[in-house]
Structure formats: C-alpha cells, structure tokens
Amino acid sequence: MDSTTGVAYDRVPYDRYVHAGTLHRLQQTNTDDPGEMSFLMISQIMELYFNLIDFELREAQRALRTDEVWESLAPLRRAALHLDGLNASWQGLRWMSPADFNRFRANLGDASGMQSAMYRHLEFRLGLKTASLTRPHRVDPEQHDALQRTLAEPSVWDDAIAALARRGYDIPATLLERDHTVEHEPDPAVEAAWADVLADTAPDNHLRLLADALTEVAEQFSEWRYRHLGAVRRAMGAKSGTGGTNGIGWLEQSMNRVVFPELWSARTHV
C-alpha cells in the first residue's frame, strides 16, 4: 500500500524482474584464460539478441497475416534497432588476435556459433531456408522439432508478398501456395509489385513504409554477416571452423544469399 495514494501494489525488485542472479551465474568458462570470459559473455549476449529479433519478426508476421500492415511496422523497426545492437556486440571482440583465440579455442571442442538454434530460427524467419541445417540439432528432439516448424512456416518475406496480393497486386498463386521449406526464388511479378510500391510516395502508402522497414532489417542483417566474417578473419584467418565448417568460405557463401531479394532488384525499375 502506498501511504500517499492509498494504492496497493506489489513491488518487484529489479534483480528478480530481470533474473540478474541467474544471468550472472551463466558465465562458466572452460579455461582460466581471461579472454574466454569476453568470448563467452558476448556470445551469450548475441544469443539473447537473436531471440529478441526473432520475437519481433514473429510479431510483425502476426500483423501481416491479418493484413494489418501499419501494425507490422513497429516490430520491424524495433527488430532493425535490435540488429544494430547485435552488430555493435562485435566491438567487444575486436581485441582478439589468433594468438588470443588459440589460448582457449582447443577447449571449445566442437562448439561453434553456426550450431546456434536461435540463429537458425532467425535465418529461416528471414527466408534463408536450408533444410539440411536442421540436422545438427537432431540430438535435441525438442529443439529439432521447433526448427522444423519454423522451416515449414512462411517467412517474413512470404508474408509481405501475401500482403501485396491481398492489396490487389498480381502475385502468382504458385508463390502464395508453395512449399515453404524451400527458399523463395526471385520472381518478376513480385519485383514489379515492389517497384510500383516504391514509386508511390504518398504519405499514406503503408506498403512503401513496409518496404522501408524491411529494407532496414535486411541491411542490418547483412551488416551482421559482414561483421561476423571480419571477426573470423581477424581471430583465425582461413582455418576451419570449430564446428567443422570451412570457416571463411562458409561465411562468404552465406553472404551471397540475399534477404528479401526483389526488394532490392525492384529499385532498378523505379
């Protein structure tokens, strides 16, 4: 009870609200090297960001699926800002040279950031679909099943294209009723629709605002991949990744996959 207002309420201490005690007990390094603490904690921060960004994208999808384009903008804009924060996390690892990393790398075993289930959810949500990438997670059936569900769901881009169709744009039915476990292939009709949207600068054109919000998400995600590649180059050069990938080659190949492809190619025709 507040003695000045007479209003009763339960106070929730900050530490309990954010589960600070739990968070600060999660940093359990495998070596005594002080640099490993930075590597571990920043990796955990990135995991939290993956979860937060995925949450925002799911919120945007819920709005798009009920044709509430305006309501989808806020979570998409938040997702872009969270991606900006995620990208800034790499700054905390700029100190790490190959010699620094080697002091604890061997103790990581087969652990690799490419095994992150939450990152994989995020990629699938953005439309980068590769079914084979769920296989490493079969050791955890619950995790594997969750990834399979995300893989089979429409991506943010699929939902944006469906919104175009509901607003009268000529989108082929084959794009609206397809196997979503397979990555979307760029289509001229989708490109033409987005070109029309981008050319309409009316202030009440919510689809153009959607295009702007999606563009920011795609740009920030591309920046994440670029910074990841730079961090790997700095810390380990062209060595194989700890998870068995070919390191730089794998990351360079992944960067060639464009998020929301027609949103970029359409600009040529505006």
Binding-site annotation, residues for substrate: 105, 242
Q: Could you give the angle at the alpha carbon of 236 between the alpha carbons of 231 and 241, nearest 5°?
A: 95
Nearest to 194 by CA among 179, 221, 175, 180: 175
> What does each C-alpha distance from 248 to 29, 36, 218, 240 come to in angstroms?
25, 21, 21, 8
Residues of each annotated binding site for heme: 228
Nearest to 28 by CA among 19, 20, 39: 39
d(CA 45, CA 36): 14
Q: How many CB atoms lie within 10 A of CB 9?
A: 8
Residues of each annotated binding site: 105, 228, 242
Which two structure tokens, joined as six digits, stand for 14?
């900050």
Angle between helices 188-199 and 156-166 (to 10 degrees): 70
- Helices and strands in the chain: count of H runs, count of E runs: 13, 0
